Structure 1
Amino acid sequence: MKVYRNLKNGLFSVQYGGLVVAHLATVQLRGVSFKVAESGRQRVLAQRQKNVHAYAIGTFTTATQPTATEPISYDPYHAGHFFRMQDQEPIHHAAAVVLSQGKAYASVQSGLLF
C-alpha cells in the first residue's frame, strides 16, 4: 500500500495498484519505506504548487503499533527525504508507522535509519 496525506480533504489517501482505494483519518503500516519522487519534488520547487510525490509504502495493519511514537515529517522545501522532527535526521525505513490527524509517527530504531 502507498499512503500519502491528501491536502484537499485532510485525510490519508491509500493507493493499491495505482488506484486510490480509501481515504482514512488513521492508517497503520508495518515494514515501511519512505519514497520521494525527485522529479515531482523539483516541480514543486519550480512551480511552488504541491503535487503528490512522497509516500509511505508498507503493509496495512489493524494491530496497534505502540512503538510508532517518533514524529516524522516531509517538506519538499526542506529536504528531498522524510526526516525525524527531533533532530532532522533522514529516515528511509521504519518497522511501523502510524498516520493520524495529519501527522506521522514512526517506530525508529537505530538499525532502521540510513
Structure 2
Amino acid sequence: MSYLKEKEEIIGTKVYAYWNLHKKIWSLSDGRHVLYYARNFSMDQVELRVREGGYQKALHEGRKNVHAFAIGTVTSIDDLVPETTRVISYNHQKGCHFYDKSTGEAINKLERCYGGEKVLLA
C-alpha cells in the first residue's frame, strides 16, 4: 500500500521533514508514512525536533538514523528556494539540537524555513 500523495494534496498539511540519506531528497512524512519526496519545500510555524532515543542510538552505534525533523505546515513544494544567509543544520556529534551554522546557536523554532539540498534555510 502506498501512502504517497500528489503535490497539491501536501500543501497546507502538517508534516515531519527529514533529509533522506538513501534517496538524496527530502522525505515529507505524517510521522509514520512518507507522503511525498521533495527536492525542496517551504513550511511555516516550524518546530525543530530531535528524538532522544534516536539521538542516543546514533551516538552509541556511531552511525546516522532518522531521529531529527523539521515539523511544520507545508506552504510550497519544488519551488525555487529564496536566497538567505541563515543555514540551519543538525549533526548528532555536535549535540542534541539543530543549530545556526554561522553562529552555533541552538534553534528549536522558526517562523518559516526552506528545505534546500541537505540543509534547512531560514
TM, length-normalised to structure 2:
0.80
Partner of 1:90: 106
Distance 1:45 1:35 in 2: 17
SS of match in other structure, 1:98: strand
Q: Between 65-74 and 85-94, report the one with greater CA deviation.
A: 65-74
Of 42, 65, 71, the residue aligned with 1:57 is 71
Partner of 2:116: 100
Structure 2 residue identity aligned to 1:61: T
Distance 2:91 2:31 in 1: 25
Unaligned runs of 5+ in 1: 107-114
Contact 1:68 1:96 in 2 (8 A): no
1:75 Cα offset (Å): 0.2
Displaced runs of 4 or more, over 6 A: none
Alpha-carbon deviations, 1:59-85, whole Å to 9, x = none?
000287758641010000101000001
Of 64, 73, 77, the residue aligned with 2:93 is 77
Structure 2 residue identity aligned to 1:77: Q
Distance 1:74 1:31 in 2: 19
Give the CA RMSD over aligned residues: 1.8
Distance 2:19 2:56 in 1: 19
Identity of aligned residues (%): 30
Of 54, 58, 61, the residue aligned with 1:44 is 58
Unaligned runs of 5+ in 2: 1-14
TM, length-normalised to structure 1:
0.85
Distance 1:17 1:89 in 2: 27
Contact 1:65 1:96 in 2 (8 A): no
